[in-house]
Amino acid sequence: MATSLKRIEKEFILGSARDEKVRVLLIAGSGEWPVLITELGPDKVTLSHAMPLRLLRRGQVYEFRFVYREQAMAFRAKALDIRESSLSVELPASVYKNLGRRYTRRAPPSELAVSFSFHGDRYDLAFPITREYEQVAEPEPSSSFDPHDIRALIADFNERGSEFASERAVRMFKERKPESLEERLIVRTGKIYYLPTSIGGLPSADPYSRPRIVTRAIFGDFLREQGTHEEYVEDELIRFERNKRNAGVLSELMVPLLFQEYVIGYVCLVNKQQGKPPFDLSVLETFHQFSKVLAYSLMINGYFRNAPKKPQDYQADVIDISAGGLLFSNASKDLAASLLPGSALELTVRVGERSVKAEGLVKRTYRDASRVYYGIEYQEIEPEDFRYLFESLYGRGFTDADATGVEGLGVKMPLKLD
């Protein structure tokens, strides 16, 4: 997350950039132009430049970026005085570090066109839709669960489940809707309901880098969505935990079976038998892996064979674009239900006469009254395609500083300058 420098640190870094002749990039027009800080006054900064004067206008606010001690910096400042080879701007109120974006955004060029498709076939299924998106792929080889024989897979589940739980089941939503509070919870969130012990209660934190557990806070948010008044949320959570204890539940686990944007069912384990150990994270991991294997097994064994398929190709209405990703919007409700954070995409970015292919990942989404906006980060892109895209967007060549000197969102690719 970008952090604003304190006044003394800001003045020190700008002064050091002047003294060490650090190259600063001024963003104007459709390109980035190198400038140098030559003077630093109490209320203005003077820079030398060799850029076309037509790109500069007094009173215009410009963005500046530079790298100092391998740390990306940025600031905005209003142009005060413009001359043939020098530019004076207001002393910036703030200079930022720890930038959350590796490459600066650009308005889409007029000749830009972007389309995307999902990996593999996508299905229109009569199952509840969740907030998560799970790209169903072949799991890593495992000695515990084999996806190719469903009967054997279920038998393995029952055998492993009996080690930890007094009750175990795989329940599907094919011919029914979620009914219980726990079922509605895992469908709404797409996360794992996990009660390590009924005495300890719901977990307060999620230890995973990509959150997958219903924490106490998430459960509380769900209750609010269901109409529980704020002042009663904590009471409802306490009542829920007490009811579990009164029912003799010692540990409980419900892992949703995620297939694309759907929850097709869930894996349930309940222990009411004294003497069995509580469900720790290794138990959760085991049956989370089972849920992934089962979803893949259902797919390869034809469970969705007769389901209608959704369209593959979509056009993206691009809001802005950078060498590291893009932001686009779409009004489709169907797409909004499918294109969730974590979704993988195959992107085709056409600039001029050349099409660039890239693997993309949905990092975030937000919506207004009529449209949904999707922030996409490139995950894989060929080096020559990346170089072409970079030069087309920024109007200059790609340098070593661009490859290694800027922190933020990384583009995962084997990029070399030689």
Residue 142: its H or E element: none
pLDDT greater at residue 79 or residue 352? 79
Place of tokens 């072949």: 138
* pLDDT of residue 263 exceeding 50: yes
**What does the pLDDT read at residue 364?**
82
**What does the pLDDT read at residue 405?**
37
Determine the distance from the C-alpha atom of residue 398 to the mean position of all C-alpha atoms in its chain, rounded to a whole number: 26
Average pLDDT over residues 124-138: 75
Q: pLDDT tens-digit profile of 376-400?
A: 888 888 888 888 888 888 877 777 6
Q: pLDDT tens-digit profile of 179-189?
A: 999 999 999 99
Identify the CA nearest to 313 among candidates 111, 58, 117.
117
Q: How many CB atoms within 10 Å of residue 245?
A: 13
Q: How many CB atoms within 10 Å of residue 381?
A: 23
Q: pLDDT tens-digit profile of 134-167?
A: 666 666 656 567 788 888 999 999 999 999 999 9
Identify the CA nearest to 261 among candidates 290, 295, 237.
295
**What does the pLDDT read at residue 416?**
38
Average pLDDT over residues 55-64: 91
Q: pLDDT tens-digit profile of 322-370?
A: 888 888 888 777 777 778 888 888 888 888 778 888 888 888 888 777 7
* pLDDT band at residue 235 using 50, 70 and 90 as cut-offs: very high
Output the DSSP codes for 351-363: ETTEEEEEEEEEE
Cα-based distances in Å from 199 to 27, 145, 204, 338? 58, 31, 14, 38
**What does the pLDDT read at residue 124?**
79
Inter-residue contact 88 to 79 (CB < 8 Å): yes
Whole-number average pLDDT of the chain? 85
Kindly list the structural domains of the chain, giving each domain's residue range(s) and its CATH number in brackets, ordered by start. Answer: 3-97 (2.30.110.10), 112-122+309-404 (2.40.10.220), 129-300 (3.30.450.40)
Q: How many CB atoms within 10 Å of residue 275?
A: 6
**What does the pLDDT read at residue 411?**
44
Average pLDDT over residues 74-94: 93
Q: How many CB atoms within 10 Å of residue 330?
A: 17
